[in-house]
Structure 1
Amino acid sequence: MAYLFGLPLACSGLFAAACNSLFAAELPPAPANSFSIVVIPDTQQYRGRGTKGAAENEDGKLTNTIFENWTDWIGVNLEQQRIAFVSHVGDIVDKNNREQWALARRCMDRLHGRVPYGISVGNHDMMPANGDSSLFQEVFPKSRFEQFKWYGGCFGKTSGLATSGNNANSVQLFEANGMKFVFLHLECNAPDDVLNWANATLRFHSDRRAIITTHMGLGPREKPKSAADFFDAPKGRMVWTKCHGKRGNSAQQMWDKCFKRHRNLFMICCGDQSRTQAMRQESTGQHGNTVHEVLSDYGTHGLRVMRFIPMLNLIEVRTWDPMNGVLCESTKFVSDRRQHQFTLSYEMDTAR
């Protein structure tokens, strides 16, 4: 039987009505012996001076109500939802300027020191042509995280740090319910030197269960040639890039050069494609391991709560809209509920 946050999916009659009422108000508390990883999609919803959106107040002050609400909700629900880790898929800002970075920092400060987290650098978070992410590095440098035992370090460039260095590619180590995890956050279209570091890091931590977040992953497989292609062209692991010029690796190249090689990798999270919004596929690594590739870029529709239930060997993935207190059942672009609310199989009752 399939389960929804510990409850049977086979709700019917009055019980179904009770389930719907419950979900309309709040997520049920996480059951004992489970834990959650929250994935924050692209947070580009800035409003006010210097943005594409109308100001939310008379003085035109820069705001990002969505980002603030999401991190507030996570902070309030750390215990109730048994949140063990938070991952941001990138495009933290919409415009790569200090004003938006300062606001992004204030949003993430709501979680800082309270729960382990990592951030992938998106194309909006750098100068795409050369991969310069120096503003990200000013706000989220490795020195901000070195005090935490769960911080495993970052790609260690000794020169030219503006590109790829100083926490632009990072690793986090945490434990939940007796399971040890290694979590990599890789920048958009990470170049070969970064992937070499990622390969070495995953080999060193081969005794841990591995998850990777990187900004570009799933979406239109070929580079769109028209606006319609973003919606209608065949989709899958993308073979085109936005960042780092000729040095940049596409999602497919990152899979071939790094991801598929590691037997402990079981999940890849990504964002970037707001016109795809939600997509997932199941792939097989070269060691026969199943890898769940999961895209979420919802705009205002919510974040992802991935609840791990070891006794059932299931990961219940729910798209939750904290602004409205509801599950996301459908969007304008993706009407299929199964892309927003779904369950993944993952073996957790065996030692690693």
Structure 2
Amino acid sequence: MKAIRLVFLLMIGMMFFYFHYSTQTNASSSAFKIAILPDTQIYAESYPNIFNAQTQWIVDNSQAQNIKFVLHEGDITNKNSTTQWQVAQNAMRKLDGVVPYSVVPGNHDIGTNGSSDTRNTILYNTYFPLSHYSGTSTFGGVYTAEPTKYDNNYHTFSAGGTNWLVLSLEFGPRDPVLDWANQVVSSHPNHRVIVVTHTYMFYDETRHNAGHSWNPHSYGLASGAGGVNDGEEMWNKFVKLHPNISFVLNGHVLDDGEGRRVSIGDHGNKVYQMLSNYQMQTNGGNGYLRLLEIDPVNGTVKASSYSPYLNQYKSDWQNDFLYTNVELGTPAAPTKPVLLDNFNDGNLSGWTIVDEGTISAPSSWSSSGGRAVQASNIYGPDVPSVDNRKGTFAYYNKTAAMNWNNYSVEAILKSTDNDGIGLMFYYKDPNNYYKVDLDSERNFRKLFKMKNGVETTLATSAGAYTVGADMTLKATVRYGKITVTLNGANLFGTVTDSDLTGGTVAMYSWGSQNAYYEDVRVQPANALMTDDFNDNNINGWTVVDEGTINAPSAWSVVRGEVGQTSNIYGPDVSSTNNRKGTFAYYNNSGAFSWTNYSYSAILRSTDDDGIGLMFRYQNQNNYYKLDLDKQRNFAKLFKVVNGVETMIATATAPGYTQGANSNLEVKVIGNQIQVFQDGKDIFGGPVTDNSLTTGTVALYCWGNQNSYFDDVSVYPL
């Protein structure tokens, strides 16, 4: 009888497993799966049977489920002890020769008793040594500065007709590790990249950043050489820079242990970022693991959470979700630069030198070893100068470059002195340009404007550069908005200035003997605008309150995300059209002439009323508006022309999931409007209307306390 019961239970389990997948997915033959193991620390400490059940299930189902790779997100152990490492090794070694896999250290795998007081990973590398992976078919390499360690590693494999690269990075990666990661990803342009690191996303659907609990900066290892980087810093210094990064996966974060968002990188590519961590649940997680089903033919990514220990799936929105219209083929090539000079030809052909300083003149420019070099101490008017400084610069002298606008200029700079070094852009002549000046001795970074020979300081911040170290300086100017980053960190936020309309680029030096420049790159800034609000202000946006109940609105920026926390609305609670709430429109004068574009943003609400986007906005009486309402179960598209509102499309839909990030994209070309929510066409196809032809964009909410907006971008179509 016991045997009969056991067979019956097994049959029920198999039926459940089959039913779950056969009814919830329609995968193509190209689909494959990635299995993700988050935070197994409690299993290694107290429940080795659960750890073994996870990996044994993967082994037993690798072919039936077409599992192509297994990723461990770190915190393999809890106390970094030999006993726990032995448990982990026994469990993970079951995968050997069956499914390729990689591991990465979490904070509990590092330092004394797993405290991450130092970056000591001796036990990690003892039980998961480089030698165990270096001979496998998928192994690609490790961090070159630590050639005997497996702390930072990458693997490659092919699946679904696409080449993939899995890049595993240590807890709170150090700056030099991110430099290496940038090189690895750049050298594999035809691979789609999955980044795995122990912490990156936070449970509030934002990236791990300042003010969040369990931030890498709060651990002892943060004081070590190279420091640490949290999720937001990784995004700015690494992830967003590459067109071929598709996924970032992490564990670590507690609370509900779930979080996700889709962000748009610098090349217009979507990056799917996901947190999964089950350790807070019974038995340290009850054996749940995350499965990603990737289907290149259908362009879908389905996430599910399954426990081999319980033989159960989770069915809530955070553990069972689907992304559609996902780019999963060979990555598109990055935008071709209009200028790329690596000086490997050994000359400065194409550059014109201008000496303005008179002390220690003349300058001494040359090209050597793949770098432009300026070896003179030329400066003026005197040593204490912190503005109106006259040094030397070399500008790119092609005629067409004098008309460049809306671009980014980037270069690797180094100085073995400690005085002024930087870049100039929108250069027309010695009396008209923008200049970024970095000075280590005087501890400043400054952005200047020279207009008709008069210099103005546009922005300044304190900080020195490291003498003798390479640093990547990048300035981006698009439609009167200027951002400057140093090694990926934003120096001044977003600076608004439209006095200069275009020009070429230049390399600049002041009193800096042995200043070096390499890989000078100029690329079009394709976006009409982007705003990630990481400067923690809403500059460039104008707030308009139309509702009168619970007015006024309350817009602010917290941790790089716009929030509107008032319940402002009108005319009444039951309204489903002609609703008057609050909105913030992008107020750049040129934006009112935008015609055909793609407008996207991340939206989130912990309330259940109206939230959405407005576009082709001309004034309060003329615009299009997308309004999503969870409580009233609708998605509606309105036009307002000469103050008269008309609904032009509607769909019965839940509107959105409370507390979850929702990716909205509006594409407007001529008289065709198409709206996507998390990749799904809300209205089933283009909506036709030719009432409004140009206008800017806006963020909108109605009766919706705690509405959040982030990663706003507009690209021309």
Q: What TM-score, normalized to structure 2? A: 0.40
More strand by share: 2
Counting only pairs closer than 5 Å after superposition, residues 111-122 of structure 1 correspond to structure 2 as: 111-122=95-106
SS in 2 for 1:279: strand
Residue 184, structure 1, aligned to residue 178, structure 2: no
* Matched letter for residue 236 of structure 1: T
Instruction: Evaluate the alpha carbon distance shift between residue 197 and residue 256 of structure 1 in structure 2; reply closer, same or farther with a 3 A threshold.
Output: same
Residue 272 in 1 paired to residue 252 in 2? yes
In structure 2, what residue type is equivalent to 1:289? N
Q: How much does 1:136 deviate?
A: 0.4
Deviates more, 1:83-92 or 1:107-116: 107-116
2:236 is paired with a residue whose SS is: helix
Find the counterpart in structure 1 of residue 319 from structure 2. 340
- What's the CA shift for 1:185? 0.4
Which amino acid in the other structure matches residue 182 of structure 2?
N
Residue 206 of structure 2: which of 236, 242, 251 is its match?
236
The answer to whether residue 176 in structure 2 is matched with residue 193 in structure 1 is yes
Q: Kindly indicate whether the alpha-carbon contact (under 8 Å) linking 1:317 and 1:341 is maintained by their aligned counterparts in 2.
A: yes
Aligned position for 1:327: 313
Match of 1:94 in 2: 78
Aligned pairs for 1:152-171 (under 5 A) are 152-158=140-146, 166-171=149-154
Label 1:283 to 1:120 Cα distance change in 2 as closer, same or farther (>3 A): same
Q: CA deviation at 1:181?
A: 0.5
Q: Could you report, residue by residue, the CA deviation over 1:217-268 in whole angstroms, capped at 9, with x for unpaired residues?
A: 1226xxxxxxxxxxxxx55211231542131111111111111111100110
Which residue type is aligned with residue 170 of structure 1? Answer: N
**Structure 1: distance between partners of 2:138 and 2:88:** 22
CA shift for structure 1 position 76: 0.4
Q: Provide the C-alpha distance between the structure 1 equivalents of 2:153 and 2:109, rounded to a whole number of angstroms.
A: 15
Alignment partners' CA distance in 2, 1:326 and 1:149: 33
Structure 2 residue 187 is the aligned partner of structure 1 residue 210:
no
Q: CA deviation at 1:24?
A: 8.3
Higher relative contact order (CA 8 A, sep 6+): 1
Alpha-carbon distance in structure 1 between the residues aligned to 2:99 and 2:258:
26
CA contact (8 A) 1:156 1:166 kept: no
Q: CA deviation at 1:129?
A: 2.0
Aligned-partner Cα distance in 2 for 1:350–1:185: 21
Question: What is the distance in 1 between the residues matched to 2:247 and 2:143?
Answer: 21
1:109 corresponds in structure 2 to 93
Separation of aligned partners in 1, 2:97 and 2:145: 26
| Equivalent in 291, 298, 303 of residue 317 of structure 1 | 303
1:253 corresponds to 2:230:
no
Other structure's SS at 1:293 match: strand
Which residue number in structure 2 is paired with residue 39 of structure 1? 36
Counterpart of 2:126 (choices 122, 125, 138) is: 138
Letter in 2 for 1:344: Y
1:274 deviates by: 2.9
Q: TM-score, normalised by structure 1?
A: 0.79
Aligned residue type for 2:16: L
- 2:292 is paired with a residue whose SS is strand
Change in 2 beyond 3 A, CA 1:349/1:219 = closer
C-alpha separation between the residues in 2 aligned to 1:64 and 1:25? 29
Give the Cα–Cα distance (whole angstroms) in 1 for the partners of residues 250 and 43 of structure 2: 21
1:23-49 CA-partner distances (Å, limit 9, x unpaired): 4877559763211011111101237xx
Q: CA deviation at 1:308?
A: 1.2
* Structure 2 residue identity aligned to 1:328: K
Shift of 1:22: 2.9
Q: Secondary structure at the match of 1:113?
A: coil
C-alpha change, 1:96 and 1:326, in structure 2 (3 Å) is same
Deviations 1:170-219 (A, max 9, x none): 00000012210011000110101111110000000111001100001122
Unaligned runs of 5+ in 2: 1-11, 210-214, 280-284, 333-717
Mapped contact 2:194–2:247 kept (Cα < 8 A): yes
- Amino acid aligned to 2:126: E
**Count of residue pairs brought into register by the alignment:** 297
Deviations 1:33-75 (A, max 9, x none): 211011111101237xxx5x5xxxxxxxxx4222111101100
Residue in 2 aligned with 1:12? Answer: none
Distance 1:183 1:261 in 2: 17
Output the amino acid matched with 1:78. S
CA contact under 8 A between 1:40 and 1:87: conserved in structure 2?
yes
Q: Give distance in 2, aligned partners of 1:199 and 1:349.
A: 21
- Write the distance in 1 (CA, Å) between the matches of 2:243 and 2:237: 14
Between the aligned partners of 1:351 and 1:212, the Cα distance in structure 2 is 15
Structure 1 unmatched runs, 5+: 1-17, 54-62, 221-233, 330-336
Q: Indicate how the Cα distance of structure 1 residues 351 and 188 shifts in structure 2: closer, same or farther if over 3 A, else same.
A: closer
Per the alignment, residue 83 of structure 1 pairs with 67
CA contact (8 A) 1:219 1:276 kept: no
Q: For residues 64-89 of structure 1, give each alpha carbon's deviation from its aligned partner in whole angstroms, at most 9, with x where no partner exists.
A: 22211110110000000000011010
SS of 1:340's partner is coil
Larger radius of gyration: 2
Report runs of 4+ in structure 1 exceeding 6 Å deviation: none
Task: State the 1:276 CA deviation.
Answer: 2.8
Aligned match for 1:291, one of 253, 265, 271:
271
Amino acid in the other structure paired with 2:208: M
Larger helix share, 1 or 2: 1
Matched, 1:149 2:129: no
CA contact (8 A) 2:189 2:331 kept: no
Q: CA RMSD in A?
A: 2.4
